[in-house]
Amino acid sequence: MIRTALASDLDAIAALHTRARATYYRGRVPEEAYAGETEAARAREGWERAVARPAAQGQVLCAERDGRVTGVAAFLTADGVTTLTQLHVDPDQWRRGTGAALHAACLAAWRRAGIERVRLEVYEHNLRAQAFYASHGWRPDPAGTPAGSHRTLWLEVGPASGE
């Protein structure tokens, strides 16, 4: 089930966020950049702000299975640009359709809001995520300018199927 995130989900979201990031950062960046008490607190604060933001500025969606948060996606609209800021699936839930369901829910929200184009940044070494996004229609930034250790991708949202 995909639903809007609640304040009561924050601990579960922050823990999932940490586990997911560890899968692609481990061995590539210092552990304190994605794990530890300081980083966990910073992540939770960021998710708290995202969950509390007005709907016109974005949304946080949770995937839930058997009462447990198994995935999370967040997007933000600022200065006329919508960005998929986070999409994480708990590593023990990979290949079960959770990411695709979250992505589809984001697409539906963007279409309802009349959003035509969305951007995201994906870690350059996270090849799993890059393949996922490519399979869902995301394309590299035509300017081709990397954002540090991340690649910028764009998605043309388009109308819902059957429109």
Residues 6+ apart with CB under 8 A from 78: 57
Residue 64 lies in a domain: yes
Return the exposure string of 141-153: e unless at least 16 CB atoms fall within 10 Å of the residue's CB, then b: eeeeeeeeeebbb
Residue 161 lies in a domain: no
Helix, strand, coil % (nearest 5) of the chain? 40, 30, 30
Residue 32 lies in a domain: yes
Q: Tokens 């995520």 appear where? A: 129
Residue 21 lies in a domain: yes
Residue 163 lies in a domain: no
pLDDT tens track for 5-46: 999 999 999 999 888 887 876 666 666 665 667 777 888 899
Residues 6+ apart with CB under 8 A from 144: none
Query: Residue 72: which of 37, 48, 56 has the closest Cα?
Result: 48
Entry pTM: 0.88
The residue segments making up the domain with residue 55 are 2-156
Residue 162 lies in a domain: no
pLDDT tens track for 115-163: 999 999 998 888 889 999 999 999 998 776 666 678 899 999 987 665 5
Residue 134 lies in a domain: yes
Q: Tell me the one-letter amino acid at 126.
A: N
Q: How many structural domains is the chain composed of?
A: 1
Residue 22 lies in a domain: yes
- CB 156 within 8 Å of CB 117: yes
Q: What is the CATH number of the domain that holds 31?
A: 3.40.630.30
